[in-house]
Chain A
Amino acid sequence: MRLGIGTLKNPGPGFLLFWAGIILGILGIIIALLAHSKKKERVKTSDLWKGLKWDKAILVLISLFIYILLLPTVGYLIMTFALLFLLFSILERSALWVPVVFALITTVTTYMIFHVWLDVHLPQGIF
């Protein structure tokens, strides 16, 4: 509201936002009413995650947030190696050297391609 909806003659910065918000609200009510009217067909929200390895998705997300938080201070090489090691070993258990080697090769190769060759400025961190 602070933005100013303006008038039809002189629509303000909040004009489209205001009307889009109203339509979204109405659509929200319609969606809720439709869901309510189809109670019998309704699938429980928890069913959407039934039989799935949702914990792995959460683990990936948490590791991504830690990566974002620490990347500027720790730097690309260490953080990317740590992230990739975790990701390569997350779906299947295998001998320790497999994710280590994959993570190492990928980190070094991407660093060479993007930082050295394509001149993308990657965070150096403690190095």
Chain B
Amino acid sequence: MSTSLRGYFNRGLETPEGKRMDILHNLFQGFQIIFQPDNIMFCFLGVLLGTLVGVLPGLGPTGAISILLPATFRMSTTSAIIMLAGIYYGSMYGGSTTSILVNIPGEAASVVTCLDGHEMAKKGRAGAALGISAFGSFIAGTAGIIGLMVFAEPLAEFAILFGPPEYFAVVLLGLTLITHLSSGSVIKALAMGILGIILSNIGLDPIYGTPRITFDILQLGDGISLVPMAMGLFGISEILTNIEQASVPEILRTKIKGIFPTLSDWMHSKGPILRGSLLGFLLGILPGGGAVIASFVSYGMEKRISKTPELFGKGAIAGVAGPESANNSAAAGAFIPLFTLGIPANVVMALLFGAFVIHGIRPGPFFLKEHPEIFWGVISSMYVGNVMLLILNLPLIPIWVKLLRIPYKILFPLILLFCIIGAYSINSNMFDVLVMVVFGIAGYFFRKFQYECAPLILAFILGPLLELNLRQALLYSSGSLSIFFSSPISIVLIGFSIILFLSPLVPHFKPKRKGPL
């Protein structure tokens, strides 16, 4: 984006009213950016691909973004981020379709939608389930964007106060939360996080330039590239796991009618949608949170506060509306830590962080001031993208259902080939393809033994930030650890990290509970 355009963004109004005007003015400028032909095209492409990968089981947003990262090298940064972000929130819409119709979630944030969504479909209410999930996603997605728009700037201004100890504390808390909130064993997730930090140390030392763990391999001098690594861990390993499976899921052959929810459906869904929007947004901001956890927490909350909890799991519309709203607003909230602190809250944000770095931009507290055109361009693209998604998802549901019938034997060679071309095109050498395959094999075994790959990738991205701030802080303080406890921010953050870090050990010392949890 041209630097001249940056001048249009109004940044000097300090009163509350002035700030409101400021936001509206910037948003207006953002809309001018998104309505440029190439940006609107990439926005459409992003949400279309997002819906597609959301619908197709076996390829989630993480895999899709990893595969498409190299394709963004030649785009402008704004177009690239608009497209990649579109894939992320687009997949949140698409994921529900497979959950409802096939009882197989298209991606992880729609797992919980299977419980009531598929039950509704079995009772002939597939249309209403798909409809309320699309409308809920739209309302919550829009609410999430408003939250992002309002909170990002004050948070970025606050983050300017951060020095190396505070940054170290935030990164440490982020890493601890990511491992703590992962779905499997916390100890295994911690081990994966540490492994990610070790892998991020490969290459030249940032302060002394000493080569580390390069085994005299020239290509390792710059470290392992994020793209082939992510493609291997998420794309190749997924393919290897899927081709082992013998059975192909059957699609429920039901006529989809009545995608516009009835008045009674709305009455039952308005509360879950509003609560899901708020909860999802808050959990989305949390490092390690994101859409998956938001959907589970929303389902649990709706079931707990419902007057008819016995209907949950048997086709309650609130069990679809709540989680589907929560995962969409979480997708918007997750952008906040990336844009304001430069810290990715989840693995998709980590890949977006990678995309920024590839384009020579480092997100952080100064990002909004230095690149307002990207921030506001992406924000307005989300408004436009959500409208596109509503149109794509409601009338076109029969087409998406037909896509589900593409056999995996045709799909997987294509995904594999795109991975190969994607990895190769980064530096035009086979080393990156080899790295991808090696991490594919590693990812396959990680899946088998239930080690999650998300903490590894996040730690890999955050590792250099953690190391640099740790070493800088220690250099400033002449080796005194008290620097990490010199400001209230770092005391609170490190305190939380320590509590969370030690908490997995606690259950092993407690007497065993009897009966169901």
CA distance A125 to B294 in the complex (A): 50
Structural contact, A23 and B194, CB atoms closer than 8 A: yes
Structural contact, B466 and A88, CB atoms closer than 8 A: no
Contact with B along A104-126 (1 / 0, CB 8 A): 00100010001000101110000
Known contacts: A16-B467, A48-B448. The answer to whether A3 contacts B244 by CB under 8 A is no
Shortest distance from the beta carbon of B455 to any chain A beta carbon, whole Å: 12
CA distance A15 to B441 in the complex (A): 29
Contact of B240 among A23, A30, A61, A110 (CB under 8 A): A61
Task: Across the interface, name the chain B residue whose C-beta is closest to A10.
Answer: B475
Structural contact, A56 and B187, CB atoms closer than 8 A: no
**Chain A neighbourhood of B441, CB < 8 A:** 61
Contact-residue size bin, chain A (C-beta under 8 Å from the other chain): 35 or more
Known contacts: A9-B479, A16-B466. The answer to whether A31 contacts B246 by CB under 8 A is no
Structural contact, A61 and B191, CB atoms closer than 8 A: no
**Chain A neighbourhood of B207, CB < 8 A:** 13
Shortest distance from the beta carbon of A22 to any chain B beta carbon, whole Å: 10
Would you list which residues of chain B between 210 and 225 have a CB under 8 Å from chain A? Answer: 210, 212-213
**Chain B neighbourhood of A110, CB < 8 A:** 417, 421
Would you list which residues of chain B between 409 and 427 have a CB under 8 Å from chain A? Answer: 409-410, 412-414, 416-417, 420-421, 424-425
CA distance A102 to B478 in the complex (A): 65
Contact with A along B455-485 (1 / 0, CB 8 A): 0000000010011001100110011110000
Known contacts: A11-B471, A13-B212, A120-B421. The answer to whether A91 contacts B243 by CB under 8 A is yes
Task: Across the interface, name the chain B residue whose C-beta is closest to A11.
Answer: B471
Q: Is B500 part of the binding interface, using a Cβ–Cβ cutoff of 8 Å?
A: no
Task: Across the interface, name the chain B residue whose C-beta is closest to A15.
Answer: B471
Contact with B along A9-25 (1 / 0, CB 8 A): 11111111100110110
Structural contact, B471 and A27, CB atoms closer than 8 A: no
Contact of A54 among B71, B244, B408 (CB under 8 A): B244
CA distance A88 to B408 in the complex (A): 10
**Chain A neighbourhood of B416, CB < 8 A:** 60, 64, 87
Structural contact, A88 and B409, CB atoms closer than 8 A: yes
**Chain B neighbourhood of A121, CB < 8 A:** 425, 428
Shortest distance from the beta carbon of B253 to any chain A beta carbon, whole Å: 22
CA distance A13 to B207 in the complex (A): 8
Contact of A91 among B190, B408, B421, B448 (CB under 8 A): B408
CA distance A48 to B241 in the complex (A): 11
Structural contact, A120 and B425, CB atoms closer than 8 A: yes
CA distance A14 to B474 in the complex (A): 15
Q: Is B251 part of the binding interface, using a Cβ–Cβ cutoff of 8 Å?
A: no
Q: Can you list 14 A-B contacts with CB-CB less than 8 angstroms, sorted by A residue number?
A: A8-B479, A12-B208, A15-B467, A49-B448, A57-B241, A60-B240, A60-B416, A67-B420, A83-B413, A84-B413, A84-B417, A87-B413, A88-B409, A120-B425
